[in-house]
Amino acid sequence: MRVGVIGGGQLARMMIAPAEELGLEIRVLAEEPGMSAALAATATGDYRDLDTVLAFARDVDVITFDHEHVPQDVLAGLVSAGIAVHPGPEALAIAQDKLVMRETMARIGAPQPDWAAVRDADELAAFLEAHGGRAVVKTARGGYDGKGVRVVNAAHEADDWFTALAEDANGGALLAEEMVDFTRELAQQVARRPSGQALAYPVVQTVQRDGVCAEVTAPAPGIGGLAEEAADLGLRIAEELGVTGMLAVELFETADGRILVNELAMRPHNSGHWTQDGAVTSQFEQHLRAVLDLPLGDPSPRAAHAVMINILGGPEGATMAERFAAALAAAPDAKVHTYGKAPRPGRKVGHVNAAGPELDAVLASARAAAAAFD
């Protein structure tokens, strides 16, 4: 069986090892040469160009993704050429646009922050007025790692985004959300096959720094009864939206014990990297199984606790190779994963996983290894 992955980043790269172990052939359509996933048979080309994508898809059994940016007309072209695409265009449309995502969560009754589509500064001013003078404003499309997310206290603080919208032929609106006073952020992952089988991973705690995921603890410490609620919510969203492959539901936990949907990702996700070394079936293997409609693997944790810490390209100083060796020496029980990317400041270039019976010891190992990259 052959899987074609559109996008050559680290998520595609991390599908390669499980594909080889399962005996699947994996091919990648990368944006440019030398990307993270260049370890696999790689074609290079523009994923926005239907002919390029059709040529790439010609001899694979299923097309899946490393990111959510493939345009709908290209996805539709693949489907009409008879190519299996997972997740499919209808599900992906919901992950591609935060306004569509909010409308869809409202339609299925999933808990979420108060929100509105705002087309100009007057509409944003009205939303601010109704929400204590503060809101989180987001561009509907194209945001990632906190880019396209802004806390505003006055309507004019989003003027540049409204101007850009006005210049865009497609027009549209910004998403305004109430500023949620969350106690922590969580993420719920589920896997779902086209034929319907679906399984949930344990809900995890995520910590973001400067809008970028920094640290993940699995399962979320002290989660209690919310674990089941989060798993049920993730499974329900996957089912109602017809998601195939891995789905991540980013959540806010509030002081009064509620969970609210922040965002959806329909692919392996940073909040699930811990599964490589902490779960019976990693999210990357699971994604491959799911998109090929093969029986899913066991999502159970292999240890009581697992921690993942991201490695960002850091300050000048030691080379990546020196830092890498220092990380391996600092915590021999930790697993260091690097993505073959140039370590530009702030760029995700790898992560460290640790798992074991005691949370303190697991955290200490992961932090010791990750600190070697600072």
Least distance (Å) between residue 39 CB and ligand ADP: 27
Tell me whether residue 97 or residue 185 sits nearer to ligand ADP (CB atom): 185
Rounding to the nearest 10 degrees, give the CA dihedral for residues 269, 271, 272, 278: 160
236, two tokens:
């329900």
Give the one residue of 31, 123, 240, 263 binding ligand ADP; rule: CB under 6 A.
Answer: 263
At residue 276, φ and ψ (nearest 5 deg) are -60, -40
Least distance (Å) between residue 107 CB and ligand ADP: 19
SS3 221: coil
Tell me whether residue 41 or residue 144 sits nearer to ligand ADP (CB atom): 144
208 belongs to the binding site for ligand ADP (CB under 6 A): yes
Fill in the DSSP letter of residue 144. B
Please give the size of the binding site for ligand ADP, defined by CB under 6 A: 19
Q: Rounded to an integer, what distance in angstroms lies between the CA atom of residue 104 and that of residue 173? A: 16
Stretch that binds ligand ADP, among 23-31, 144-152, 164-172, 331-339 (CB under 6 A): 144-152
**Does residue 38 contact residue 8 with C-beta atoms inside 8 Å?**
yes
For residue 282, CA distances in Å to 37, 46, 338, 359 come to 18, 29, 17, 20
Give the one residue of 145, 239, 293, 333 binding ligand ADP; rule: CB under 6 A.
Answer: 145
Give the one residue of 180, 303, 318, 359 binding ligand ADP; rule: CB under 6 A.
Answer: 180
Strand ranges (E), 119-194: 135-138, 149-152, 174-177, 182-192
144 belongs to the binding site for ligand ADP (CB under 6 A): yes
146 belongs to the binding site for ligand ADP (CB under 6 A): yes
What's the order of all strands across the beta sheet hosting 25-30? 41-44, 25-30, 2-6, 62-65
Count each helix (H run) and each strand (E run) in the chain, helices first.
Answer: 12, 17
End-to-end CA distance of the chain: 41
For residue 79, CA distances in Å to 73, 246, 267, 374 come to 10, 20, 19, 45
Stretch that binds ligand ADP, among 12-20, 77-85, 117-125, 173-181 (CB under 6 A): 173-181
Least distance (Å) between residue 102 CB and ligand ADP: 11
Count CB-CB contacts under 10 A for residue 220: 23
Tell me whether residue 120 or residue 263 sits nearer to ligand ADP (CB atom): 263
163 belongs to the binding site for ligand ADP (CB under 6 A): no
3 by Cβ neighbours in 10 Å (0-12 / 13-18 / 19+) ranks as: buried
Least distance (Å) between residue 14 CB and ligand ADP: 19
Q: Which of residues 79-108 bind ligand ADP (CB under 6 A)?
A: none
111 belongs to the binding site for ligand ADP (CB under 6 A): no
270 belongs to the binding site for ligand ADP (CB under 6 A): no
State the DSSP H helix or E strand holding residue 232, giving kind and residue range, or none if neither: helix 226-241
142 belongs to the binding site for ligand ADP (CB under 6 A): no
185 belongs to the binding site for ligand ADP (CB under 6 A): yes
Q: Rounded to an integer, what distance in angstroms lies between the CA atom of residue 291 and that of residue 306? A: 26
211 belongs to the binding site for ligand ADP (CB under 6 A): yes
303 belongs to the binding site for ligand ADP (CB under 6 A): no
Least distance (Å) between residue 131 CB and ligand ADP: 10
Q: Applying CB under 6 A, which residues contact ligand ADP?
A: 113, 136, 138, 143-149, 177, 179-180, 185, 208, 211, 250, 262-263
